[in-house]
Chains A and B, each alone.
Chain A
Amino acid sequence: MILKRPFFWITMAVTAAFMLLPWRGNNVEMRETLILIAVAIILASNLNLMIGYTGYVNFGNIVFFGLGGYAGLYLVTGRGWPLIGAALAAGVAVSIFALLLGLAILRLRGAYFALATIGVLEAVRAFVSNFEPWGRSAGMYVTFDVYQPLGGPMKALWTTYFLVTGVMGLSLLLSLGIKTSKFGLGLFAIRENEDAAVVLGVNTALYKAIVYSASAFLPAVAGALIFFKNGMIEPEQAFDLTLSIEAIVMIMLGGQGTVAGSAVGAGLYEQLRGYLLTQPTLSNFHLVIAGALLLIIVLFAPLGLIGWTHRWRPMRRMLE
């Protein structure tokens, strides 16, 4: 069963490494770099459930992260909830939202679905920008006392980091779990030929709604954690279409449908992005480079890097 899969142990090892390495040396810089990678992996691997497994490209995927951030921050600052409870509640609320939304828009296929997800992202952003209880276009800020229950800002940063890393591990395990399950088989069938899948007996409407909802949960939890750590949230950053597309680039870079692929793609891309953003002349160029990368991948290597290695079977079993 799942424990036999080498990838399970690789995930545990990587998650442990993420947690231990910066902690041991109290290395804040490493922690800050790794947290960005962890978020990228969370976004990419959950998005991969829709794109790689089910074949539905969710262009507006960042909406879950943003809504999770807003819900979480609202519960913590406005209602005084503890962090973990708020993050989980945000995750559940956003998943329910996704389920209901999915029932409506998952009837659309291909590019129409993709466009609808962009529409949803933009509609949510526009709505939140006008929504009084969430600070409208100025957003929400925390006061430092929210970090007290966690032992002060310094400790809170570490705690949030561990939680985010945990969510990363869970995301990878979720991907693996679904891929090796009957539910996953049904999703692949939908991806390959949705009409044939229905005839075979797959309840496609239900499966799509479930995976869409599931793909929203962990990103929403992560959103709550990250924006708590950042101490503020505003609509422009929370619902940034570019971030959404970058998640897609990560998946395509790594190879769609593969668990390791999204992780590798996320890691690589995040490194590239981090590098570009720190170069003063190149900071706007990160958009150009991302675009060029996406274009090259779409034109010449649509299977991505890991997809390529699928040609060699022994490696395949390891990397899933």
Chain B
Amino acid sequence: MSGVLASIIDGVLVGAVYGLAAMGLSLIWGVMDVINLTHGAMIALGMFGVYLLFTSLHVMPYLLLLPVLAGGFLVGVVIYWIAVHRVLGRSQLATLLSTFAVNMMVIGIGTTLWSTSPYNVNYSIPGITMGRYTFTGNHIAAAVAAVVIAACLQLFLYRTRLGKAIRAVTDNRDAAELMGISAAAVLTVAFGIGIALAAASGGLVATLFPFTILSGGVYELKSFVVTVLAGLGKPAGALVAGVLLGLLEGAITPFIAVSWIPAIEFGLFVAVLVLFPRGLFGRTG
């Protein structure tokens, strides 16, 4: 197996985590047309959540995703009511600013608590070796966890009443309200889920790489790239686009210095925004 292929496969695995992160952003954006700039901070909180629980409870980090998901949901609900609900009717810009404001506060508090030193979750799963290359167990586990969570989300959206209500509100909020769906309740839940997903993806990242309070920003920016690539409101598309991004990274890293990757990704982001306003897969609404 060639080095490039191994790199690509590894990229695909990590890409699943990017996809999971992006799903949260895409869901919120699609359901209520809000660009959630707390996304990075929430990913960071997920990282710290898993770290703190792991160091105190010494339980397998993947199990800790459950409390992190729940915690993330609650935090999401709180943020929704503080920063989003009042501002919903106004321009997209207003929610951009209000969520960014919350982001600043969370990062500020986080920096005070944890400074900008790196933290690490010391937990390894043995990897799989094929020929000369070993695929880190953690990467595989993270990818599996991401796909499982994504699948649960799809089941939720398509098989439960609440999930269908969310999809209805995404399609046409007024019509949904006329049919008796409480938009406020649905939006709250959707926002909570979006944050929960962000936190969970952060938790997974914590098992893969060392992190700081500022690391969320990197994944937030990747989430934006993935979301605009996928188009909005289709979380499934976000997972696929995340994998594609991971694949792209994996294909590039053997040839170009890692420090160029952010430049390439941001360039891609701006280019996709300008050239493909509907995303590569088309957008709902």
Contacts and interface: CB of A to CB of B under 8 A. Distances in A.
A and B touch in the complex (CB under 8 A): yes
Interface of A: 57, 59, 104-105, 107-108, 110-112, 114-116, 119-120, 122-123, 126-127, 129-130, 137, 242, 245, 248, 252, 284-295, 298-299, 302
B101 A298 contact: yes
Contacts of B112: 284-285, 288
A57 B266 contact: no
Interface string B69-112: 00000000000001100110011111011101111110111011
B277 interface: yes
B178 interface: no
A292 B101 contact: yes
Given A108-B274, A288-B105, A291-B104, A122 B92 contact: no
A130 B104 contact: no
B126 interface: no
A119 B275 CA distance: 14
A248 B97 contact: yes
A245 B100 contact: yes
B35 A105 contact: no
B97 A122 contact: no
A97 to B, nearest CB: 14
B270 A291 contact: no
A130 B108 contact: no
B102 A137 contact: no
Given A291-B102, A294-B100, A126 B270 contact: no
B266 A299 contact: no
Contact of A110 (B93, B98, B105, B259): B93
Contacts of B108: 284-289, 291
B274 A130 contact: no
B104 A242 contact: yes
16 contacts: A57-B96, A110-B91, A111-B35, A115-B224, A115-B228, A123-B270, A252-B97, A284-B108, A285-B112, A287-B104, A287-B111, A288-B104, A291-B101, A292-B101, A298-B97, A298-B98
Nearest to A248: B97
Contacts of B103: 291
A137 B259 contact: yes
Contact of B263 (A115, A130, A252): A130
Interface string B30-41: 000001000000
B274 A104 contact: yes
A105 B270 CA distance: 8
Nearest to A105: B274
Nearest to B115: A284
Interface of chain B, main secondary structure: helix
B257 interface: yes
Instruction: Pick the most buried of B259, B260, B263: most chain A CB atoms within 10 A of its CB.
Output: B263
A288 B90 CA distance: 24
B96 A116 contact: no
B102 A122 contact: no
A302 B94 contact: yes
Contacts of B35: 111, 115
Contacts of A107: 274
A126 B104 contact: no
Nearest to B264: A126
A245 B104 contact: yes
A57 B102 contact: no
B262 interface: yes
Instruction: Pick the most buried of A59, A116, A129, A291: most chain B CB atoms within 10 A of its CB.
Output: A291
Contact of B257 (A130, A245, A290, A293): A130
Interface string B223-246: 010001000000000000000000
A299 B90 CA distance: 10
Interface in B98-154: 98, 100-105, 107-109, 111-112
A59 B93 CA distance: 10
B100 to A, nearest CB: 6
A123 B105 contact: no
Given A110-B93, A291-B102, A298-B101, A120 B270 contact: yes
Contacts of A59: 96
B105 A130 contact: no
B27 to A, nearest CB: 16
A116 to B, nearest CB: 5
Given A123-B262, A123-B269, 13 more contacts: A57-B93, A107-B274, A110-B93, A111-B92, A119-B266, A122-B262, A122-B266, A126-B262, A129-B263, A291-B100, A293-B101, A302-B90, A302-B94
Contacts of B109: 288
